[in-house]
Chains A and B, each alone.
Chain A
Amino acid sequence: MSERVAVDLKVNGTTHRVSVPAMRTLMAVLRDDLGLTGTKNACDQGVCGSCTVLIDGAPARACLALAVALPGIAITTVEGLAQGDTLSPVQQAFLDAGAIQCGFCMPGMIIQATALLAENKRPSEDDIRHSISGNLCRCSGYTKVIEAISLAASRLTP
């Protein structure tokens, strides 16, 4: 077992002091040490996008990042998007468009869409497809996911 290292992780605006093995991924720390299980593990090798979180505002694979390398850096997980009981515009659009089926890929998909819309207020359908092309979904065929992201964009930037 590798040495434990203390690190201050700033997740969804709250700083957590955790002591974790140096090789433990951000995904494992979020899920197992902080109990933030919204971030999903579906491939463990950075291919499927289910564990996508925002690191300093940019989408990143939590399964490829080491927690100890991220002291004090703002990390946003899917649990950090809603304001109290109010869903974020992207989350709400995913509900309204009926984009959510089994839901396992959705935290990563929603984070990815949030990052896209922060950068590109009026994404074209092609922009959306490219943006989520690293987020695999087996249920939806992506049609309603793309509709949801377009809907969120149109609500955020009427």
Chain B
Amino acid sequence: MNAPGAPIGLSLPRLEAGEKAIGTALYTGDMVLPGMLHGAIVQSPHAHARILGYDTSKALAVPGVRAVITGDDIEFRYMGLVVKDETAIAKGKVRYIGEPVAAVAAIDAETARRAAQLIEIRYQPLPAVTTIEEALHDGAPMLHEDFAKYAKIYDAPVGRGNLLAHSIATQGDPAKGFAMADVVVEETYTIAAQYHAYMEPCAALAAFDPSGKVTVWSSTQSIFRTQANLHECLGLPMTKIRCIAPRVGGGFGGKSEATVEPIAVLLAKKGRAPVRLVLSRNQDMTAMRTRHPGWIRLKTGATKDGRLVARDCELWFDGGAYADDSPAVMNFALYFVRGPYEIPNVHCEGYAVYTNRMRAGAFRGFGNPQMTFATESQMDALAAKLRLDPIELRIKNALPNGARWFGGQAVTESTLVEALETARTRAGWDKPMPPAPPGKRRGRGVAAMAHSSAFLSTGAIVRLQNDGTIAVQVGAVDIGQGSDTALSQMAASAFQLPVEQINLATPDTDSAPYNSGTNASRVTFMVGKAVGEAAFKARDQIIEHAAAMLGVKRDEVSLAPGGRVVVTGGSRHNAEVSFADVAARSIWAVGGPVIGSSAVMASHAMDQGHTKMSGWLSFEAVGIYTFGAQIVEVEIDEVTGAVEVTRAVCVHDVGRAINPCATVGQIEGGFAQGMGYGLCEEMVFEDGRLANPSFMDYKIPSALEVPKTIECVLIEKPEASHPFGARGIGEPPLVGAAAAIANAVADAIGKPLTRLPLTPERVLRALLAQ
């Protein structure tokens, strides 16, 4: 698979690291076009209100203002991934505090901001529902009166008020299962809204060309989702929409769907000039997206020797004012209702609800961190009740190879037991921890996790360029995780070229084949697969040309490092041609340019009888399951309740690390983000208003909070279905982190806490209650 100069498994610096280090990397907000205007938005002060009218005259009178847009500038056209329920900007109603309701384009950002404050909007406030419970009351005000009429791609619960999605899945006979159980534990776990906190706030730059085609550069995870959303909400044909992603300053799921692109396009059209719109942090925190808050009631039965026999789960997610990814996130959470374990009898129901809060959407883990917090907390509660070691209980119930996942897919390769054993050894689990210093308590906790990599479709085009180098076109956006480098390494490996001879094109809907997005831990896995398949097709063409040029049979030549094809054996042994020679023949003489293309989609055969389902559980597209285990040690201050994570051991199956340094970077960063989720990050809403919309009041972990050691151990068993053996690792490091920390805190204080995050206040209350 590897060869000199063909760098699979090498920790190369990211291709764009140099430009990022010297400050020349261009993110959307750094780009300038001639005549460019600056945008500013006006946000709704109401959680729910009818818009009665606008007075934009004062804003338009400000010198330097070129355009003002409101809901009056658009028709009722809707966008959305699974429910088309969002207009480009609020129209008719506002449904959450912070919703963009008008916007200004002006000659500079200060003028735009000042003019935006002068737009007067008349509202008729409506009763709002800002919690799941309020949203479900009889007679509760409806957020979307037209829900029944919206286009949807799943079986939606129409006519049930603000209920947005409802799924049910049953495997085996849960009643019988619980009857067999010697021990039953039941608990309700509550989870808070987490903010993505990508360092680059959402931004877009839109410019129309003379033909009426708009080009949109934006901070996005998907150029094709951006294009689709613009098409849907603005009514422009896709022939007139070109989307490009320059450097992107993080996404973590929050930039999967449209952000401010539709508003930037509307302003550019009305202002007749390019418009750049960059949100402030406060605007981003109040207008964009969160992880789903909600609660999970979980009940598990086990025999006295520690066999899991039954589980029952009820999950409620607050989706906020627009559907966005909520139905998908809720369903995805249900995929992991058993965790990575064999449980023969399961019933689960999931619900997603509209409320008058900012929308919840995709966020690293996509519902799985919430579910894993519940399931892995419950595993420890069971272990305590059964007087079993938590790791022993997990190993005992680990899903064996070949067994069926919930839903019915066969799991070909489970590395769960290996991950748990590795973590146990590495962390010294079987040795007691040293006693805590006075005033402190120590604890240790484990979490196992599974996640998928795959989902959704993608393609690649791989071309031989005239000088013998290779161009790769994919629609995948590198949002910082390092996929440009990993994909280049994979392409380089396929051709035995150094990575410098790969030209990975900027993601551009005008030239790239479709790719759904940088989500679901799928780029290295799915796009890598597409790159491999396309590269191998192009490679075959190169070999065919070379054999003809050298006058030998196809099987008498092989690729050699550095862009050569060499005869192996026979009278012409060692005769060779270069890739450039092949390119010349292909474009000037025979066959036409060397181009390989591919189209891939995950779709797996299911045992249809395994799990009965209703709602929208598309298990067949899950792809592969990936496993991991984390052990953390904590120290708790008995006076303040503050939890310090002193050590983290993170063991993850990565298939094959294409770039080990980047892989470890994903794990370290994912754990840290999961630590924030577990300990300190909570968007606090008061009647729908975010009470902590700044980095001052919403704390993400700093260098002082992250553990001094995050020990990463990679399990590398090349994944058979991937041309380079890779598995996705974007999300798994976060998925179980909060659960491992919660279990360590429970170990330290002798009592599990069932509400995230484990703030000092909550931990202290638990300590004082003892």
Q: A and B: real partners?
A: yes
B-binding residues in A (CB < 8 A): 1, 21, 24, 28, 31-32, 35-45, 47-48, 50, 77-79, 81-82, 87, 91-92, 94-96, 98, 100-107, 110, 125, 128-130, 132-146
| B residues in contact with A32, CB < 8 Å | 108-109
Q: How far is the CB of B325 from chain A (nearest CB, A)?
A: 20
B interface, by DSSP: helix, strand, loop or mixed?
Answer: loop
B668→A100 contact, CB < 8 A = no
B769 within 8 A of A: no
Contact call B109/A103, Cβ cutoff below 8 A:
no
Contacts of A78 in B (CB 8 A): 21-23
Q: Which of B169-177, B476-484, B683-691 contacts A (4 or more CB under 8 A)?
A: B476-484
A134 in contact with B702 (CB, 8 Å) = yes
Closest 5 CB pairs of A and B: A38-B23, A102-B480, A104-B249, A103-B20, A141-B672
Task: Determine if B703 and A145 form an interchain contact, defined as CB atoms under 8 angstroms apart.
Answer: yes
Residue contact A138 to B710, C-beta cutoff 8 Å: no
A50-B199, A103-B25, A104-B480 are known contacts; what are 19 more A-B pairs with Cβ within 8 Å? A35-B32, A40-B27, A47-B694, A47-B696, A48-B281, A87-B22, A98-B14, A101-B482, A101-B669, A125-B708, A129-B703, A137-B199, A138-B197, A139-B665, A139-B669, A140-B665, A141-B668, A141-B671, A141-B701
Chain A nearest CB from B456 CB (Å) reads 22
Task: For the complex formed, measure the closest distance between the CB of B107 and the CB atoms of chain A, giving whole angstroms.
Answer: 10
A79 to B247 CA separation, bound complex (whole angstroms): 17
Distance between Cα atoms of A95 and B485 in the complex (Å): 13
B628 at the interface (CB under 8 A from A): no
The interface of chain B, by Cβ under 8 A from chain A, is 11, 13-14, 16-18, 20-27, 29-30, 32, 63, 108-111, 114, 196-201, 247-250, 252, 278, 280-282, 479-482, 661-662, 664-665, 668-673, 694-696, 700-704, 706, 708, 710
* A24, B664: Cα distance in complex, Å: 41
> Which residue of chain A has its CB nearest to the CB of B11?
A98
Chain B contacts of A102 at CB under 8 A? 198-200, 247-250, 479-480
- Minimal beta-carbon separation of B683 from chain A (angstroms): 15
Smallest Cβ distance from A117 to chain B, in angstroms?
Answer: 15
Which chain A positions have C-beta within 8 A of B196? 138
Highest count of chain A CB atoms <10 Å: which of B25, B280, B481, B482: B25
Decide: A143 and B23 in contact? CB cutoff 8 A: no
- Contact residues in B for A81 (Cβ distance below 8 Å): 22
Chain B residues near A87 (CB-CB < 8 A):
18, 21-22
B14, B18, B23, B668 — most chain A CB neighbours (10 Å): B23
CB of A1 within 8 A of CB of B110, answer yes
Q: Let me know if B695 and A48 touch, CB within 8 A.
A: yes
B216 to chain A, nearest CB (A): 19
CA distance A28 to B479 in the complex (A): 25
Q: Contact check: which of B23, B114, B702 meets A136 at CB < 8 Å?
A: B702
29 A/B residue pairs, CB under 8 Å, sorted by A: A1-B110, A32-B109, A37-B23, A40-B200, A42-B249, A44-B282, A77-B23, A82-B22, A87-B18, A87-B22, A94-B17, A95-B21, A98-B11, A98-B14, A98-B665, A100-B13, A101-B669, A102-B250, A103-B25, A104-B198, A107-B23, A125-B708, A128-B703, A130-B704, A133-B702, A140-B669, A141-B668, A142-B706, A144-B668
